[in-house]
Amino acid sequence: MKIRKGMIIIVSAPSGAGKTSIADAVIKNDKNIVYSISTTTRAPRKGERNGREYFFVDDKTFKTMIKQKKFAEWAQVHGHYYGTSKKSLEGTINKGKDILLDIDVQGALKIKKQYKSAVMIFIMTPSLKILKERLIKRNKDSMETIKIRMANAKKELSYMDKYDYLVLNDKLETSIKNVESVICAERLSVKKIKNNIKF
């Protein structure tokens, strides 16, 4: 039997919907899934390490990388550049490993256009009211930033119907299981494996 090519799993969510906690758990529980480390021009936050959460570069370096076609996709999000390395993405799936991309809606659509079998999962809180409450409760942002994040969330929600799956993050444990179930089902999809399996 031929090894199957790895699967591209895209996870997008408005800020505060709990995407990072879900993605971290899914990766921790499944050794066949690799996290795609993006490159960004935003400054590292407290506790972030270069090469772990992101590769942090300046604007000039990022623009050079665009010219050199190093990105499978890139986008400007909240005023900063973010991009997915083409080499790392293709290297991972060619080894038969799945790769999880935590990227915004613009990037998700760009990836889907090039890699038709990518699975797109949208994560959202059960309501916008709950999203706002979570943003206030986590105490990371000013009211001004929360307003911007809420306006962005409404914009991002308008892309939801382009996604394959919606996970409403009410209880974290359930949402982790739901994302894992989607991945499990996609791995078994005959449509997806038919080109990779020879008996």
Residues that bind ligand 5GP (CB under 6 A): 38, 42, 73, 75, 77, 82-84, 102-104, 106-107
CB of 103 to ligand 5GP, least distance (A): 4
CB of 42 to ligand 5GP, least distance (A): 5
Task: Find, among 71, 143, 131, 132, the residue nearest to 103 by Cα.
Answer: 71
Residues in the chain: 199
Nearer to ligand 5GP, 103 or 146 (CB): 103
Provide CB contacts within 8 A for 35, sequence distance 6+: 23, 27, 99, 100, 102
Is residue 123 within 8 A of residue 13, CB to CB? The reply is yes
Nearer to ligand 5GP, 75 or 176 (CB): 75
Is residue 98 within 8 A of residue 27, CB to CB? The reply is no
Q: Which two tokens stand for residue 174?
A: 């359930």
Nearer to ligand 5GP, 30 or 53 (CB): 53
CA distance 153 to 171: 20
Angle 160-140-28 (CA atoms, 0-180°, nearest 5)?
Answer: 65
Question: Which residue has its beta carbon closest to ligand 5GP?
Answer: 107
Is residue 123 within 8 A of residue 109, CB to CB? The reply is no
Nearer to ligand 5GP, 156 or 186 (CB): 156
Nearer to ligand 5GP, 106 or 117 (CB): 106
